[in-house]
């Protein structure tokens, strides 16, 4: 397992701070009636360092601004020459069930509204979006009021009398456990990213990811393909103790060429080396190169080359060839 403090936060933030990925998430996570009123192409990722004054922005927090569509004859259309109307979306990642999430979000929302006020901006709505993939089922509802009532113990006449003084707001929950990424209108990389999060605690994570890894073969840009898969492998290595050879085997089953697999694993190793952890992936790279040589050796054997000839060409010893059932 990796040494970075919260690999889940680091991975989720790295994925959704990229505009195209964030747009995919917004289309899938926000209510359809809200999405229909948004100019999604206007989405921008804002500096959210002021949101969490204690931690100076946790790794899982992101703040997005998205313009509202203009409708003819409305105040928003008339205001076009001055400033586009927009909403904010506060993205909060949770990898565990946190009963204090509403109080945490309340503080964040207050700071966002205060920042708008201090900057003489319109007070525009903020939609809190909780990206959840904890092991326990989400049972915290979707409104602050419900949590406040349950926590306070107020009921009956007392509740009716005091309810108007209790702050309230709704949240949107993107509940990853049980999610089928293939059913969402998102890109192939985002499908893989979401599947990685969904199955990250499963010991058979690669078995689940192979169909989503296969989808990445549709990416024409080799550099992008390598970067997408390497990012996922880095995440897995930082959460699980991955067995040597499991990575190269998964890439092979997903249809990646030997050249592509070596590029992916080398990029992953560079990422892990920057974190002080590359031993496991180096073993996987060596395993991948060995499998590539053995594959070549089997083809040579079918073509009629002798073991000595195959050994000279591949650099493998005759003993190693025999060990892998390649013999005269």
What residues does 130 pair with on adjacent strands? 92, 173
Rounded to whole angstroms, how far apart are CA atoms 18 and 53?
Answer: 24
Rounded to whole angstroms, how far apart are CA atoms 64 and 169?
Answer: 18
Q: At what angle do helices 101-118 and 144-152 cross, to 10 degrees?
A: 130
DSSP one-letter string for 166-217 = S---B-EEEE-TT--GGGSS--HHHHHHHHHHHHTT-TTHHHHHHHHHHHGG
Handedness of CA 39, 41, 44, 45 (dihedral sign): positive
End-to-end CA distance of the chain: give it in Å, rounded.
43
3-class secondary structure per residue, 218-287: HCCCHHHHHHHHHHHHHHHHHHCCCCCCHHHHHHHHCCCCHHHHHHHHHHHHHHHHHCCCCHHHHHHHHH
Q: Answer whether residue 193 is part of any domain.
A: no
Rounded to whole angstroms, how far apart are CA atoms 285 and 265?
Answer: 6
Number of domains in the chain: 2
Q: Which of 129, 146, 177 is the last residue of a domain?
A: 177
Q: Answer whether residue 32 is part of any domain.
A: yes
| Cα 257 from chain centroid (whole Å) | 25
> Looking at the structure, do residues 157 and 24 belong to the same domain, yes or no?
yes
Range of the domain at 72: 7-177
What residues does 45 pair with on adjacent strands? 64
Q: Where are the alpha helices (DSSP H) in 42-172?
A: 75-78, 101-118, 144-152, 156-162
Q: Answer whether residue 240 is part of any domain.
A: yes
Tokens of 201: 């605690």
> Looking at the structure, do residues 34 and 125 belong to the same domain, yes or no?
yes
Q: Which of 290, 268, 289 is nearest to 279 (CA)?
A: 268
Rounded to whole angstroms, how far apart are CA atoms 183 and 100?
Answer: 31
> Looking at the structure, do residues 53 and 97 belong to the same domain, yes or no?
yes
Q: Answer whether residue 185 is part of any domain.
A: no
> Looking at the structure, do residues 229 and 316 belong to the same domain, yes or no?
yes
Tell me the pLDDT of the chain (328 aa) as tens digits. 444 457 899 999 999 999 999 999 999 999 999 999 999 999 999 987 777 655 454 555 899 999 999 876 655 554 554 467 899 999 999 988 898 999 999 999 999 999 999 988 889 999 999 999 998 999 999 999 988 888 888 888 998 999 899 899 999 999 998 789 999 999 999 999 999 999 999 989 999 999 999 999 999 999 999 999 999 999 999 888 877 588 889 999 999 998 898 889 888 888 887 766 555 555 555 555 566 667 767 866 776 778 887 776 666 788 888 888 888 7
> Looking at the structure, do residues 157 and 207 belong to the same domain, yes or no?
no
Tell me if 250 sits within 8 A of 213, measured CB to CB.
Answer: yes
What residues does 328 pair with on adjacent strands? none
> Looking at the structure, do residues 212 and 125 belong to the same domain, yes or no?
no
> Looking at the structure, do residues 155 and 236 belong to the same domain, yes or no?
no
Rounded to whole angstroms, how far apart are CA atoms 103 and 174?
Answer: 19
Which residue's entry shows tokens 């804002």? 46
Q: Which of 177, 208, 231 is the last residue of a domain?
A: 177
Q: Answer whether residue 68 is part of any domain.
A: yes
> Looking at the structure, do residues 144 and 31 belong to the same domain, yes or no?
yes
Q: Which of 177, 208, 228 is the last residue of a domain?
A: 177
pTM of the model: 0.79
> Looking at the structure, do residues 78 and 169 belong to the same domain, yes or no?
yes
């Amino acid at each position: 397992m990796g040494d970075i403090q919260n690999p889940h936060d680091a991975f989720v933030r790295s994925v959704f701070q990229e505009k195209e990925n964030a747009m995919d998430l917004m289309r899938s996570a926000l209510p359809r009636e809200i999405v229909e009123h948004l100019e999604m192409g206007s989405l921008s990722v804002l500096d959210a360092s002021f949101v969490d004054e204690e931690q100076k922005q946790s790794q899982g927090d992101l703040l997005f601004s998205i313009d509202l569509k203009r409708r003819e004859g409305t105040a928003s259309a008339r205001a076009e020459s001055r400033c586009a109307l927009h909403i904010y979306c506060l993205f909060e990642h949770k990898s565990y069930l946190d009963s204090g999430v509403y109080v945490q979000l309340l503080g964040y929302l207050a700071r966002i509204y205060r920042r708008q006020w201090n900057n003489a901006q319109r007070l525009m709505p903020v939609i809190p979006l909780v990206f959840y993939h904890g092991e326990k089922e989400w049972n915290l509802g979707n409104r602050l009021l419900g949590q406040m009532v349950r926590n306070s113990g107020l009921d009956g006449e007392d509740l009716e009398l005091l309810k108007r003084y209790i702050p309230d707001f709704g949240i949107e929950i993107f509940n990853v456990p049980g999610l089928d990424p293939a059913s969402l209108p998102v890109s192939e990389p985002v499908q893989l990213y979401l599947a990685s999060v969904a199955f990250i605690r499963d010991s058979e994570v690669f078995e689940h990811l192979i169909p989503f890894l296969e989808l990445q073969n549709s990416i024409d840009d080799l550099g992008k393909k390598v970067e997408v898969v390497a990012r996922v492998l880095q995440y897995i290595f930082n959460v699980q103790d991955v067995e040597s050879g499991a990575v190269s085997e998964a890439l092979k089953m997903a249809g990646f060429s030997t050249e592509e697999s070596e590029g992916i694993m080398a990029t992953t190793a560079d990422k892990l080396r920057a974190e002080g952890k590359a031993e496991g992936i180096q073993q996987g790279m060596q395993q991948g190169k060995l499998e590539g040589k053995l594959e070549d050796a089997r083809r040579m054997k079918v073509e009629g080359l002798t073991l000595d000839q195959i050994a000279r060409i591949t650099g493998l010893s005759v003993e190693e060839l025999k060990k892998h059932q390649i013999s005269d």
